[in-house]
Structure formats: C-alpha cells, structure tokens
Amino acid sequence: MERSGSGRGGGRGRGRGRGGGRGRRSPSTPPVVVGKEQCGCVRGSEEKNRPQNSSPDSHSDSDSVGIGVAKLKICDDVDKPSPPPPAAAAVGEGVFDICPRKQPGTVVLKPSLLVKNRERRRSSNSSSLLLRPGMVLLRGYLSLSDQKKIVERCRELGVGVGGFYQPGYGEGVEMHLKMMCLGKNWDPHTSQYGEQRPFDGAKPPLIPPEFHTLVSNALRDSNALFPHDPLPSISPDICIVNFYSQTGRLGLHQDKDESKDSLRRGLPVVSFSIGYSAQFLYGDHRDPDKAQKLQLESGDVLIFGGPSRNVFHGVTAIDTTTAPNLLQHINLRPGRLNLTFRQY
C-alpha cells in the first residue's frame, strides 16, 4: 500500500511515494542511505546522523483480537536506553534507527489525563468499518503488546543489512520518508521488485514469521466481520516498511507493481499503522479534492483488495498532536511507522 515517492510522499514514485512512491521515474543517480531524521523531500544528499528522542501509548493485551505472536524482546522501559545498533553493511553516511538511544538529560513527558482517557475509550470501543467494497478498516486491532513487538522487530532489522535508508529518484530528489523492504526489494527508479537493492547490493531481510501470523489473523477476522464481502487470503512475500517523520507524507498512488496474477485476483494489501496518526486519503482518482479522508491511528489495520485493489491512496499529513502512550514505552522516534504487506 504505502510505498515511497515524490508527489506521493514516503512510500512510491510518479508523483507519489512508497507504507507503504512509485510512478515518476527519474534519472539513474542512486539513492543514498542516510542517518538524518529528515524525511522531507529535499534537494541534494547532504544528510548527516541526527538521533532524536521519542514520546508515548497504552492499551492492554486484552485489546488484541486473539493474535498469537512469538515472544520478542521489547524496549518498554523508558528509562533504559536502547542498545547500540549493529554495524550496517549498506553504503552511506550511517544507519537510521527508529528507536534511538536517549541523550543525557532527556526528559520524557508523561501523557496527560485527557490523552489517557481518550485512548482508554478508543481501546474499549474498537470498531471495524467497511469503507467500500473490498476495503476494510479494523480500528485499534493491534494491541499495545503487538505494536511493541512490531516496532522492536523493525528496529532490529532496520539498523542491519538491507535496513532503513533514504529513498530517492536521483538528481538530489528525495522522498518524504525512510524505507525498508522485507522479502523483496522495491526499486523507486524502475517501479519493479527484485532480490536485492541496486545501489548497494543488500538483500532485503525476510518477513518475520510473527508478521505472517498478524496478517493472517487480520484477514480472517475481517472476513468474519464482513462475510458478504470476503477477501482472499495471502501469504505475503513483500512488506514495505516506511517511517514518516512529523513532516512525512505520501502522494496519491496505486499499488500496482505486483504480478499480473496478483492484481487480477485482487489479492489484498494489508497495512499496519503505529505511532502518530496520519491523515489518509483514498478514492478512484489521483485528484486529492475528489478523495475521501480518513484518520489512521496507532494500532489500526487497513485492508484493501478485490474491487478496491487498485484504489488510489496516500498520506497528506502526520498529526503531531496524537502521539500515543506507546511511544513512551518503546522510545520510537516521533512519527509514524507503517507496514504494508502484499503477495507478489
């Protein structure tokens, strides 16, 4: 779903971005891996490492929809710094850590009572919506525990070989996000999938088994809720992981670089949202004025397939007033982490 891109924002190209730009193809200057927090579209490639701090979420494991996930080590102690990232093999000025170590003197503000009560109400009133045929929103589907595990696993993979980097189209044009591919690599220059990243030869990490379980459960529960509008199951072999900073965005685009068979069968895209809320647009046209708006919040799962498989969609803004308590527990950078799963 959300990939990176210019005009599309931090997930595909051709006037879009990829979480996951695809679309506009540019000259061949390769993207570079950078460690700077900036996820905005800028000219030039002068990015330097700039670790940032994070903020806050809270939901209980009982909010989960019965998902069995392997136990993972999580950084849920806000006073304990994250361990230093392993050396990355990708070329560039440094790695991008979505869960950086806290700096000396960092003050973590506790969420207000208003925020706590709002999240409590939301977790107890989780709902699901059939947005249009083939497009389902599972509100608050991922529990706090699920989200912690996802973030920690993405952090572990993101600082290693084939991890997060700053995608771009050459000529100094960069996308509005950091991107990491799992399973297969998606190349913004060619809008094609491959077995390794062209600019550094790194192979994408495998999709963790627990992510497969979450995707399978989400599709099963979606079809149970809307039996008259069922979606086919998938065995995802692609996951685009995008991290949007507070200024990140993604222009309207279609996810249509998968195989002809996958598109013909309407195999769904499954998207996880974690962190700050995002203003999400979707519709039948690339024109934002004709698109419908939706707020995607931390823990939401969005699924689109069948007759909505080629829906235009994008992210116009990250809402910096919606930092969930989750960010306080896991030291995630201020921003939004988005994972989109699909089957090639």
Mean of per-residue pLDDT scores for the chain: 77
- Each domain of the chain, given as residue ranges in start order, spans 128-342
Confidence at residue 22, expressed as pLDDT on a 0 to 100 scale: 42
- CA dihedral of residues 286, 167, 83, 334 (deg, nearest 10): -40
Mean pLDDT, rounded, for 273-301 = 97
Is 253 flagged in the annotation as binding?
yes
Residue 40 pLDDT greater than 70, yes or no: no
Q: What tens digit of pLDDT does each residue of 173-195 get?
A: 788 899 999 999 999 888 899 99
Q: What tens digit of pLDDT does each residue of 199-229 get?
A: 999 999 999 999 999 999 999 999 999 999 8
Mean pLDDT, rounded, for 297-309 = 97
State whether residue 249 is helix, strand or coil. Answer: coil
Residue 81 pLDDT greater than 90, yes or no: no
Residue 62 pLDDT greater than 60, yes or no: no
Give the whole-number percent of the chain exceeding pLDDT 70: 65
Residue 18 pLDDT greater than 80, yes or no: no
Mean pLDDT, rounded, for 310-319 = 96
Residue 239 pLDDT greater than 60, yes or no: yes
Is 255 flagged in the annotation as binding?
yes
Place of tokens 């000025």: 93
Residue 90 pLDDT greater than 50, yes or no: no
Q: Token pair of 161, please?
A: 């070989």
Confidence at residue 289, expressed as pLDDT on a 0 to 100 scale: 95
Q: What tens digit of pLDDT does each residue of 130-154 get?
A: 999 999 999 999 999 999 999 999 9
Confidence at residue 3, expressed as pLDDT on a 0 to 100 scale: 57
Residue 262 pLDDT greater than 60, yes or no: yes
CA distance linking residue 67 with residue 5, whole number of Å: 32
Residue 330 pLDDT greater than 90, yes or no: no
| Strand ranges for the chain from DSSP E | 128-132, 135-138, 168-170, 173-174, 178-182, 185-187, 192-194, 238-244, 250-253, 269-275, 277-283, 292-296, 301-304, 312-319, 336-342
Higher pLDDT, 255 or 168: 255
Q: 128-342: what fold?
A: Jelly Rolls (2.60.120)
Highest-confidence segment of 278-282, 320-324, 329-333: 278-282
CA distance linking residue 138 with residue 129, whole number of Å: 7
Q: Are 277 and 122 in contact (CB under 8 A)?
A: no
CA distance linking residue 258 with residue 125, whole number of Å: 35
Confidence at residue 75, expressed as pLDDT on a 0 to 100 scale: 40
Confidence at residue 111, expressed as pLDDT on a 0 to 100 scale: 52
